[in-house]
Amino acid sequence: THAFLARIKQHPALNAFITISEEHALVQAAAADQRLASGDATDLTGIPIAHKDIFCTLGIKTSCGSKMLDNFVAPYDASVVDKFNHAGAVTLGKLNMDEFAMGSSNETSFYGPARNPWNTDCVAGGSSGGSAVAVAARLAPAVTGTDTGGSIRQPAAFCGITGLKPTYGRVSRYGMIAYASSLDQGGPMARNAEDAALLLQTMAGFDSKDSTSVDQSVPDYSAGLNDSLQGLKIGLPKQFFSSQLDNNMAAAIQAAIAEYQKLGATVQEVDMPNLELAIPAYYVIASAECSSNLSRYDGVRFGYRCQNPADLTDLYTRSRGEAFGAEVKRRILMGTYALSAGYYDAYYLKAQQVRRLISDDFKRALSEVDVLMGPVTPGTAFKIGAKTSDPIQMYLEDIYTIAINLAGLPAMSIPAGFIAGLPVGLQVIGNYFSEAKLLNIGHRYQ
Ligand code: GLN
């Protein structure tokens, strides 16, 4: 704990942390020492970790990357945080992220962007940018993240670490600040699949406090890490490898897939005709859900409140106007529009229908093969500022990750080499609750 705290302080320019909870960490570390001495330790007792600043932490600020919650200290722990605390893990602090998890580069954070340790002029990815930087720069051995449309996998790919987005419902969302509730899912980010398995073991499981958490037993995620991949059927979605994919990226991904062929896997093409509709459908659904979820920030009960409001309407409008950033406002406007009477059928309902078609594409593909593989991102990490003026360019960053959230499937980003000094991620997508298989596949690559 001391070593990691010292290292965090040596690298403030990476901007990975929003809050360093040193005092709290030292108390937890001392308790962990006692627990280790008394022999009732878990695998995670005394292991320093850090949480994306979207998970509520009792007594430690939870900002969600927003001015709106810059003064917010939650009166309770998120279920995920609670589980790590019970296991004896040590919380080093809270990690930088895009505001309310809306973004693909960590640049919408009220606290400024986290920087990619491989090239500090480049973005870390987002929204779990601080999480990916912390692991890649060895500021923490392992961390938590959340993924609504790619926010675990994309920063993991950009920073060269392993990130797993579990099946929707596998990890409790209680105390995880809501962005788009039907898509949000917490998961582990770590140096490799072996560490990710240990984290997921602690995070996963039914929680009566989350009505969408699934009541299904949690397997031993470490047990099958070394299983043979002989005969594994890998599907390559034709739409992932179209002419739009950058040549270098295509070559890196093909090289990674060839490694699995050497381990005994077979490869076949699969057709998923509705994948190209994923981005428009996602941005209607996610914006609609966010406009509803973020209506709670009204300046009344908690969070930012404007100075000297003239009346109630002034309190609402100025508190929200002054504390939300531009991207969050854009999403709220799009979502409110899509949900308004007269437009509901044309946008929200249509997007839900497209969502079903995309799920059916995955169902069909995953009845033919065991897993799907492809890129996580269209290219490697881009320069800070390169895409901030063009939201559509930024939304296209999620082209390979978003469909998986619409279907609720698990998917993992595995480090798969470099292009010009910047990391590349291989995406592996599995059937519902196949996290153990994904971890096995990730582990065998290393
Ligand atoms: N980039 C996507 C968005 O802005 C996904 C973010 C996420 O997964 N939280 O909505």
Ligand 1: distance of its center to the CA of 214 in Å? 23
Q: Cα(first)–Cα(last) distance of the chain, in Å?
A: 27
Strand partners, 144: 188
Which atom of ligand 1 lies closest to the CA of 327? 4
Residue 366's SS3 state is helix
- Please state the atom number of ligand 1 nearest to the C-alpha of residue 398: 1
pLDDT digits (tens, 9 = 90+) for 16-49: 999 999 999 999 999 999 999 999 999 999 999 9
Give the angle subtended at the CA of 128 by the CAs of 174 and 331, to the nearest 5°: 80
User: Which pLDDT does position 393 carry in this prediction?
Assistant: 87
Residue 179 CA to ligand 1 centre (angstroms):
9
Position 245 scores a pLDDT of: 87
Q: Which residues contact 186 (CB under 8 A, 6 or more apart)?
A: 55, 80, 144, 145, 146, 147, 166, 171, 172, 173, 176, 203
Please give the class, per CATH, of domain 1-255+370-446: alpha beta
151 Cα nearest atom in ligand 1: 8
Token pair of 153, please?
Answer: 């996998």
Q: What is the pLDDT of residue 102?
A: 98
Q: Ligand 1 pocket by C-beta < 6 Å: which residues? A: 101-104, 127, 147-151, 179, 286, 398
- Ranges of the chain whose pLDDT falls below 70: 446
Averaged pLDDT of the chain: 97
Q: Which of 66, 146, 148, 158 to mutate to test the pocket of ligand 1 (most atoms within 8 A of CB)?
A: 148
Cα 371 to averaged position of ligand 1 atoms, centre (Å): 23
Residue 242 has a pLDDT of: 85
**pLDDT value of residue 446:** 63
The residues assigned a catalytic role are: 52, 127, 151
Q: Which of 55, 95, 98, 102 for a ligand 1 pocket mutation test, highest count of atoms within 8 Å of Cβ?
A: 102
Q: How far is the CA of 266 from the centre of ligand 1 (A)?
A: 32
